Amino acid sequence: MASTVITGIGELPTQDDELGTLTGAAIVLDGDRVAWVGPESQAPEGDERVDVEGRAVLPGWVDSHTHLVFAGDRTAEFAARMNGEPYRAGGIAVTVEATRAATDEDLAETVRRHVDEAAAQGTTCVETKTGYGLTVADELRAARVAAGVADEVTFLGAHLVPPGEDADDYVDLVCGDMLDAVAPHVRWCDVFCESGAFDEDQSRRVLLAAKKRGLGLRVHGNQLGSGPGIRLAVETEAASVDHCTYLEQSDVDALAGSETVATLLPACDLSTRQPLPDARRLLDAGATVALASNCNPGSSYTSSMAYCVTTAVLQMRMTVDEAVRAATWGGARALRRETGDGAVGVVRPGARADLHVLDAPSSSWLAYRPGVPLTHAVWRSGRTVA
């Protein structure tokens, strides 16, 4: 692959602690890596030169929470919710039925379509989950399908107790045969720890069984009410606890004293008519915050990370810099991919060549011009995708 020198950059929030936010910088991409970052006047020659004419360049968005292995449609459930019906975890069963009936090709096409849709909006790294199969064969199939398309795959067999099954028997299955089958194909295990899904003891069993098999941990916690999810995530040293919509002081303290990232999913809270999470309280306490889309057909059918950033700034009292960092470096940190060779969510030599050029001079336009498409160009692993 040829090397590319990118010049004319208006603002470059690298998300690298030493480089900081640069102006008058240039970036050199070589193959699928960032080769050089520095003042434009000192930029080395490359095979080609691209002048972005004063536009801001960001690391590509890192969407660390999606559920893309699905079939079917829940428009009617969404419409009912907008007419006052509450969101219920049980809606997951509707997608499970449709997903089990779909072909492997249909499922792979759906994941690919949404990953491409996200890439066209600046998302260059995507995590996705199983969780709409809920049998050994269907969860294994979902993991294999996802592994062929997404950057990171998470096993979420503990998404819902399949209707008609006994909860403890199902947890036995998840902790035994299901994990045995799926673990070789995934890096992460997640559990929906919430009333209506899995209680604290059941969730702990799943997480510890996954840890024993060498998987990293993630938790869906405190989405629909206060509960044990956040504390359990911290106790089990999960990389991330996602949602965090309902926070007790003890949850904030636990997160602030831990390595567990609080991943906030504002598009989901809006689509389910929940309150927005108190990002300010988490940040002020010293917790690490990520923003993700939670793209799925039930609770959050958007792939737009820009929408999440805009919402975080306009409605969650995050600064633009905090929100952009949470949607890039924060997502990478939630996936433990913010350092080392091929790091994502950051622009520094050695990082993956993932860039998002905004049709704007600064990232503040993401909130200043809400709802306006601002993606000018995207590089993912050194290739232009938009």
Q: Which residues are annotated as a binding site for N-formimidoyl-L-glutamate?
A: 132, 296, 298
3-state DSSP assignment of residue 88: coil
Let me know: does 327 contact 290? Beta carbons within 8 Å.
yes
For the CB of residue 227, give the shortest distance to ligand NIG in the complex, in Å.
12
Residue among 268 and 344 whose Cβ is closer to ligand NIG: 268
Residue among 78 and 329 whose Cβ is closer to ligand NIG: 78
Other Cβ atoms closer than 10 A to 284: 12
Let me know: does 196 contact 224? Beta carbons within 8 Å.
yes
* 64 near ligand NIG (CB under 6 A): no
The amino acid at 378: V
Which residues have C-beta within 8 Å of that of residue 83, sequence separation ≥ 6?
none
Query: For ligand NIG, which stretch binds (CB under 6 A), given 38-46, 88-96, 273-281, 358-366?
Result: 88-96
Annotated binding residues for Zn(2+), as ranges?
Answer: 65, 67, 220, 294
User: What is the Cα–Cα distance from 178 to 87, expressed in whole angstroms?
Assistant: 28
Residue among 38 and 196 whose Cβ is closer to ligand NIG: 196
Query: For ligand NIG, which stretch binds (CB under 6 A), given 10-18, 87-95, 327-335, 365-373?
Result: 87-95
* 271 near ligand NIG (CB under 6 A): no
* 78 near ligand NIG (CB under 6 A): no
For the CB of residue 90, give the shortest distance to ligand NIG in the complex, in Å.
9
Residue among 154 and 288 whose Cβ is closer to ligand NIG: 154
Size of the site for ligand NIG (CB under 6 A): 13
Which residues have C-beta within 8 Å of that of residue 87, sequence separation ≥ 6?
81, 224, 272, 273, 274, 298, 299
Let me know: does 295 contact 261? Beta carbons within 8 Å.
no
User: What is the Cα–Cα distance from 62 to 122, expressed in whole angstroms?
Assistant: 9
For the CB of residue 241, give the shortest distance to ligand NIG in the complex, in Å.
12
Residue among 265 and 360 whose Cβ is closer to ligand NIG: 265
Binder among 58, 186, 261, 268 for ligand NIG (CB under 6 A): 268
For the CB of residue 293, give the shortest distance to ligand NIG in the complex, in Å.
10
For the CB of residue 86, give the shortest distance to ligand NIG in the complex, in Å.
12
Nearest residue relative to ligand NIG (C-beta)? 298
Residue 319 burial by CB count (10 A; 0-12/13-18/19+): exposed, middle or buried? middle
* 92 near ligand NIG (CB under 6 A): yes
Annotated binding residues, as ranges?
Answer: 65, 67, 74, 132, 159, 220, 223, 294, 296, 298-299
Which residues have C-beta within 8 Å of that of residue 227, sequence separation ≥ 6?
193, 194, 195, 200, 221, 246
Let me know: does 61 contact 328? Beta carbons within 8 Å.
yes
Residue among 60 and 298 whose Cβ is closer to ligand NIG: 298
Alpha carbons within 13 A on the beta-carbon side of 364? 5
Which residues have C-beta within 8 Å of that of residue 30, sequence separation ≥ 6?
1, 3, 46, 353, 382
Beta bridge partners of 50: 6
Residue among 35 and 153 whose Cβ is closer to ligand NIG: 153
Q: Could you give the string, one character per residue 280-299, with x where binding to ligand NIG holds by CB under 6 A and - elsewhere?
A: --------------x-x-xx
Which residues have C-beta within 8 Å of that of residue 81, sequence separation ≥ 6?
87, 271, 272, 273
Residue among 158 and 374 whose Cβ is closer to ligand NIG: 158
Query: For ligand NIG, which stretch binds (CB under 6 A), given 89-97, 107-115, 166-174, 307-315?
Result: 89-97
Residue among 92 and 343 whose Cβ is closer to ligand NIG: 92
Measured CA angle at 233 (ends 60, 289), to 5 deg: 35
Residue at token pair 């010049």: 7
Q: Could you give the string, one character per residue 186-215, with x where binding to ligand NIG holds by CB under 6 A and - elsewhere?
A: ------x-----------------------
3-state DSSP assignment of residue 74: coil
* 220 near ligand NIG (CB under 6 A): yes
Residues near ligand NIG (CB under 6 A) = 67, 91-92, 95, 192, 220, 223, 268, 294, 296, 298-300
